[in-house]
Amino acid sequence: MTSKTKPTDPYAKAGVNIEKGNKLVKSIKASVNATHDKRVLGGIGGFAGLFQLGSKYKNPVLVGCADGVGTKVSLSQIHNKIHLTGQDLVAMCVNDMITCGAEPLFFLDYFAASKLEPRSTAKIVKGIAKACKKSNCALLGGETAEMPGHYVKNNFDLAGFSVGVVEKSKIIDGKNIKSGHIIIGIESSGPHSNGYSLIRSIIKKHKAPDSILHALLKPTHLYTAPILELIKKINVKGMAHITGGGLTENIPRILKSGLVADINLSSWKFPKAFKWLQEKGRISQADMLRIFNCGIGMIYIIDKTDLAKAQKILSIHKLRTFEIGSITESNLKEQIRYY
């Protein structure tokens, strides 16, 4: 006697659903393919992504970056904003990349969850694809992993990997920074993707107004297009992406020994979300500047004569900029000072 009962999939019984994975791939295929141009050979579904570098560069140097969104994903889940985390993921990688003058070429993502939900996962991947499109960067491939027992309940994590290219003679590495150069800060959209373990602990103790939550959940600014235009027209001496470590730890990373960044804290106003975090979390100003970007998501260093031209370029991209300080010589060990 033949049973009409459908055989049980032992993998699904263990908590991993292959059919859902296949459904996800089908739902994101159009969004992923929309980021491809003639440099991408083949499409989604292969074992590896193929990218043709071409002959644009005489002496190309490849640049690689990897990052994640951190515990911002938890806050986004609670407030049904996970579709915004895709841009966070891309931005945290490509914003690092452009600090050396590199053009993003392609991006790969890794999504791991306790249980794969095709609809919600597709929203995240489509957000990644949209951000890649804005950054002129192909979403070349990725990986999803369903890991019941390792991740619990509806937990998930995101990681991103990006590869770019820069002409060797045009690498921006901070070696040309000298005393007298000025520091320009570009506004952030909020905390970007840093400091969220502290942010979440503050929110647990103090109910955040809707306006503050909105600011805290805004996706990270994509600085790629405006910065790439800027470095074509301006001699940029150095750049720093203000991520974990804030202004305090990120600006010194591009300074030679003997140079110090003097930062004028009255040159811009801390956005309301940061003021709220500082007040409710009873955080000192020194710690705020070491943990958060405090409203400055990216800085670049130029000659004073290029200021007006640089500001005009970034204003076209609807980004506010502030002259936040200057470079001076110093024999002190510290490479950043606030006044």
List the pLDDT tens digit at each of the 339 positions of the chain.
Answer: 344 445 566 656 555 665 666 666 665 666 666 778 888 887 666 678 788 888 888 999 999 999 999 999 999 999 999 999 999 999 999 999 999 999 999 999 998 888 878 788 888 989 999 999 999 999 998 888 888 878 888 888 899 999 999 999 999 999 999 999 999 999 999 999 999 999 999 999 999 999 999 999 999 999 999 999 999 999 999 999 999 999 999 999 999 999 999 999 999 999 999 999 999 999 999 999 999 999 999 999 999 999 999 999 999 999 999 999 999 998 888 899 999
* φ, ψ (nearest 5 deg) of residue 212: -70, -45
pLDDT of residue 203: 96
Distance from C-alpha of 295 to C-alpha of 154, rounded to nearest angstrom: 32
Distance from C-alpha of 283 to C-alpha of 296, rounded to nearest angstrom: 18
Q: Is the pTM of this model over 0.95?
A: no
pLDDT of residue 332: 81
CB neighbourhood size of 77 (10 A) = 16
> Token pair for residue 4?
């009409």
pLDDT of residue 22: 63
Distance from chain centroid for Cα 210: 24
pLDDT of residue 146: 83
> How many residues in the chain?
339
Pairing of strands 156-167, 259-263: unpaired
Q: Is 318 exposed, middle or buried (0-12, 13-18, 19+ CB in 10 A)?
A: exposed
21: DSSP letter: H
Closest to 212 (Cα-Cα) out of 269, 299, 279, 123: 279
130: DSSP letter: H
pLDDT of residue 3: 44
Domains of the chain from N-terminus onward: 14-41+56-170 (3.30.1330.10), 182-338 (3.90.650.10)
